[in-house]
Amino acid sequence: MARQPTAAEIIACLPAADSFARIISHETTGSTNDDVRSLLSAGEPSPALVAAATQSAGRGRRGNLWQNTPGAPLFFSVGLTVTTDPALRSMLSPAAAVALAETLEEFCQLPVGIKWPNDLVVEDRKVCGLLLESMPNGSIVIGVGLNLNTTDEWFEKNELPLASSISIDPADRTPLLAALASSLLGIEERVAESTELQSAFDRRDVLVGQVVHCMDGPTPHTGRVHEIDLIRGLTLDIDGDRLLLSPHTIRVLP
């Protein structure tokens, strides 16, 4: 397991030392999302960043467990106060996915796809997941788990054939963490430029044209993805008919 950087080491890699009002770095914690929620609930200022080398209770969408992997994974959460129109809030998660994908592409020099709504993939295998949670006070918490320097053999041995990892120089781990966390600070501005955000998403989308199995609440559907609109949701072609599924209720199955 890679040594977890200190808060001071993270700050040294940020574009500006005051990018975050509060930064905490743990060797291990339960959940970085829960840690950020606790900070903001206690009145701590935002933006806040909590990072950890491992989590004992990390989670993805709908409570799915995020598994710790060997190597040098990144786990971190960013807390933001946002004023985005409620009608546009469904765009915040894909805006975060685009920001993370762009940063990984620039930092690691490899193409990154987005499996709507919240997975980043390289060569059709998941390398990163994110979870956006809203708080009663209007703040949001964005949790990120990124696999780094884990072998394909480990994923195969643990029956995770759809997962993979990005290889980086261990010395680049802290600069990458700082770059990824900083990229999330501008997602409200990305949502405000919705046409540009949609285009950036479309260039990285990996689902349009694919046959998918999904759940809309308790109801299963299978069809070919016709379109993903970041506000309206996902449109399926099913036996010649088109069905629009809301981003608030749909779950695309592996």
Q: What is the mean pLDDT of the chain?
A: 91
pLDDT for the residue numbered 74: 93
As a residue count, the chain comes to 254
* 125 Cβ contact partners less than 8 Å away, ≥ 6 residues apart: 161, 162, 163, 164
Could you tell me where the beta strands, DSSP code E, fall in the chain?
22-29, 48-55, 74-81, 113-115, 119-122, 125-134, 139-146, 211-216, 219-229, 233-238, 241-245, 250-252
When pLDDT is averaged across residues 17-35 and rounded to a whole number, the result is 94
- What is the arithmetic mean of pLDDT over 111-123? 94
- How far apart CA 21 and CA 24 sit, in angstroms, is 10
pLDDT at 58: 61
Task: Output 78 or 71, whichever has higher pLDDT.
Answer: 78
What is the pLDDT at residue 233?
Answer: 93
Quick one: pLDDT at residue 66? 60
Q: What's residue 161's pLDDT?
A: 86
Interhelix angle 173-183/92-108, rounded to 10 degrees, is 150
pLDDT in the model for residue 56: 82
pLDDT tens sequence across 129-187: 999 999 998 899 999 999 999 888 888 888 888 899 999 998 999 999 999 999 999 99
Q: What is the mean pLDDT of residues 31-44?
A: 95
Residue reference for tokens 């977890």 = 4
- The domain limits of the chain are 7-204, 211-252
In this structure, the number of other CB atoms found within 10 A of the CB of residue 247 comes to 19
176 is written with which tokens? 């990458």
Residue 64 has pLDDT above 80, yes or no: no
Given a cut of 60, is residue 188 above it in pLDDT?
A: yes
Structural class in CATH, domain 7-204: alpha beta
CA 179 – CA 15 distance, rounded (Å): 8
What is the sign, positive or negative, of the torsion defined by CA atoms of 77, 102, 227, 211? negative
Please state the pTM of the whole predicted model: 0.92
pLDDT of residue 247: 85
Q: Residue 68: its pLDDT value, please?
A: 63
pLDDT recorded at residue 185: 97
Confidence of residue 253 (pLDDT cuts 50, 70, 90): confident
Whole-number pLDDT of residue 250: 85
pLDDT beyond 60 at 65: no
Closest CA to 190 of 99, 90, 87, 116: 99
Q: Name the band, by pLDDT with cuts 50, 70 and 90, for residue 87.
A: confident
